[in-house]
Amino acid sequence: MRRLYRKKALSLVKELDAFPKVPESYVETTATGGTVSLIAFTAMALLAFFEFFVYRDTWMKYEYEVDKDFSSKLRINIDITVAMKCQHVGADILDLAETMITSNGIQYEPVIFELTPQQRLWHRTLLLIQNRLREEHSLQEVLYKSVLKGAPTALPPREGTATEPLSACRIHGHVYVNKVAGNFHITVGKPVHHPRGHAHIAAFVSHDMYNFSHRIDHLSFGEEIPGIINPLDGTEKIASNHNEMFQYFITVVPTKLLTSKVSADTHQFSVTERERVINHAAGSHGVSGIFMKYDTSSLMVTVSEQHMPLWQFLVRLCGIIGGIFSTTGMIHGFVGFCFDIVCCRFKLGPYKPREVVLPDAHVNNRAAPLLTDNHVQE
Long-range contacts of 229-233 (CB under 8 A, 24+ apart): 229/126, 229/129, 229/130, 229/133, 229/143, 229/153, 230/153, 230/269, 231/130, 231/269, 231/270, 231/271, 232/271, 233/126, 233/130, 233/153
Which of 200-209, 290-299, 300-309, 361-370: highest mean pLDDT?
290-299
pLDDT in tens, 19-61: 666 676 666 667 777 787 888 888 888 998 998 888 888 878 8
pLDDT in tens, 130-175: 887 777 765 566 666 555 444 456 777 877 666 778 889 999 999 8
* Distance (Å, whole) CA 354 – CA 365: 6
User: What residue spans define the domains of the chain?
Assistant: 31-58+307-331, 68-297
- Could you tell me if 79 and 219 are in contact, meaning their C-beta atoms sit under 8 angstroms apart? yes
Q: Which of 172, 154, 156, 162 is nearest to 82 (CA)?
A: 172
- Could you tell me if 365 and 355 are in contact, meaning their C-beta atoms sit under 8 angstroms apart? yes
- Could you tell me if 365 and 353 are in contact, meaning their C-beta atoms sit under 8 angstroms apart? yes
28 or 275: whose pLDDT is higher?
Answer: 275
Q: How confident is the model at residue 346 (pLDDT cuts 50, 70, 90)?
A: low
* Residue 201 reports pLDDT greater than 60: yes
* Distance (Å, whole) CA 82 – CA 290: 9
- Rounded to the nearest 10 degrees, the angle between the axes of helix 310-346 and helix 31-56 is 160
pLDDT of residue 225: 78
Query: How large is the average pLDDT for residues 267-283?
Result: 86
Lowest mean pLDDT among 166-170, 253-257, 294-298, 340-344: 340-344
Query: How large is the average pLDDT for residues 8-25?
Result: 70
pLDDT of residue 72: 83
Q: What percent of the chain clears pLDDT 70, i.e. is strictly above it?
A: 77
pTM of the model: 0.68
Query: How large is the average pLDDT for residues 5-19?
Result: 71
Q: How confident is the model at residue 375 (pLDDT cuts 50, 70, 90)?
A: very low
Lowest mean pLDDT among 202-211, 230-239, 299-308: 202-211
Query: How large is the average pLDDT for residues 262-281?
Result: 85
* Residue 337 reports pLDDT greater than 60: yes
Q: Which of 239, 295, 242 is nearest to 267 (CA)?
A: 295
pLDDT of residue 353: 64
Q: How confident is the model at residue 373 (pLDDT cuts 50, 70, 90)?
A: very low
